[in-house]
Amino acid sequence: MARVTTAMDGLLRVDPSSGEAPFEQVRHQLAEAVGDGRLPPGARLPTIRGLAGELGLAVNTVARAYRELEAAGLVLTRRRLGTVVSAEAATEPAATVALRLAAADYARAARAADCTESEAVGLVRDAFRRLS
């Protein structure tokens, strides 16, 4: 049976046997904790190095999760303050938090495909029209 690692008082669990990449597991679980209020506004996240050590992950794995949470507007990283839950994101419903993550993923994919912002937004508009 795969070993499951826990951190942050049971808030995070990384299952190495999961089909989901470890950074995705960390990112999703932290986003859920922000969305449902378990991580309130201003809550300080562990240092990247500290969390990586607790979870038995590479530092770059945790750093990627934090970067993606920051790109989605869920956390802020400031010198001397570390990484904290943004006040704006912590007041949003869980569904909005999930959409922020999806939007950040989409923006990264659009940029990787050399898509302009207006082209990317146009694709989203087209998708909405097709749902009607």
Q: Cα Rg for the chain, rounded, in angstroms?
A: 16
Q: May I ask the CATH architecture of the domain 5-131?
A: Orthogonal Bundle (1.10)
Q: How far apart are CA 121 and CA 40, in angstroms?
A: 31
pLDDT per residue as tens digits for the range 77-125: 988 889 999 988 767 777 887 888 888 889 889 999 999 999 999 999 9
Tell me, yes or no, if the pTM score tops 0.75. yes
Whether the Cβ atoms of residue 130 and residue 124 lie closer than 8 Å to each other: no
Q: How far is CA 99 from CA 49, 51, 102, 126, in A?
A: 28, 25, 5, 17
Could you read off the pLDDT of 65-78 as tens digits, one per residue? 999 999 888 999 98
